[in-house]
């Protein structure tokens, strides 16, 4: 028969917060309430789920987790591929290969709810002075930002890196 002191030592320490009970010990690590890590970071490849560019792949250029006064929700500035490069074979000439390797880009701000993060990241160096949230105020600046994204995407495509990013999503 156990004494009260021994039973107390064997009983796990429990802390109740609301309706939930947290074990503080009991051959387990002490309770540590930790924050979840941020994974929506610049360079992360995401799938666009809603809108005109649904099903397209994009890269996060800038993420805003806390929201702003005009957009009081977490959102991200993304740059993605609207028209993917077409298949190229070795028998094609240089002119045809150049024509089929063209990419059409887009730049847009999306709510996190309309983006699905992937396991992939790319390090495409988009110029932050050209591709930023201010481009949406002026159509000329938006065209310039799209052109910048297009040039950087085409450069990366021609190097042969990040092949998955430049393939059309099949579903």
Mean pLDDT for the stretch of residues 123-128:
86
All structural domains of the chain? 44-160 (2.30.30.770)
What's the CA gap between 147 and 130, in Å, rounded? Answer: 10
For 134-158, the pLDDT digits (tens) are 888 899 999 999 999 999 999 999 9
Question: Would you say 134 and 99 are in contact if contact means Cβ atoms under 8 Å apart?
Answer: no
What's the CA gap between 107 and 95, in Å, rounded? Answer: 28
Q: Name the CA dihedral angle for 166, 112, 36, 44, rounded to a multiple of 10 degrees.
A: 20
What's the CA gap between 33 and 1, in Å, rounded? Answer: 37
The pLDDT value recorded for residue 111 is 93
Question: Would you say 75 and 67 are in contact if contact means Cβ atoms under 8 Å apart?
Answer: yes
For 57-106, the pLDDT digits (tens) are 999 999 988 888 888 999 999 999 999 999 999 999 999 999 999 999 99
The pLDDT value recorded for residue 30 is 56
């Amino acid at each position: 028969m156990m004494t009260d002191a021994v039973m107390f030592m064997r009983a796990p320490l429990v802390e109740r917060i609301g309706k939930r009970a947290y074990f503080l010990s009991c051959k387990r690590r002490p309770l540590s309430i930790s924050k979840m890590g941020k994974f929506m970071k610049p360079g992360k490849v995401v799938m666009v789920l809603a809108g005109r560019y649904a099903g397209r792949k994009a890269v996060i250029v800038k993420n805003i987790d806390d929201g702003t006064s005009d957009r009081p929700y977490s959102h991200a500035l993304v740059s993605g591929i609207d028209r993917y490069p077409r298949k190229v074979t070795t028998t094609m000439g240089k002119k045809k290969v150049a024509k089929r390797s063209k990419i059409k880009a887009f730049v847009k701000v999306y709510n996190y709810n309309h983006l699905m993060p992937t396991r992939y990241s790319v390090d495409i160096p988009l110029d932050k002075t050209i591709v930023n949230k201010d481009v949406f105020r002026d159509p000329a600046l938006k065209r310039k930002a799209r052109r910048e994204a297009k040039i950087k995407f085409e450069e990366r495509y021609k190097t042969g890196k990040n092949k998955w990013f430049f393939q059309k999503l099949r579903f």
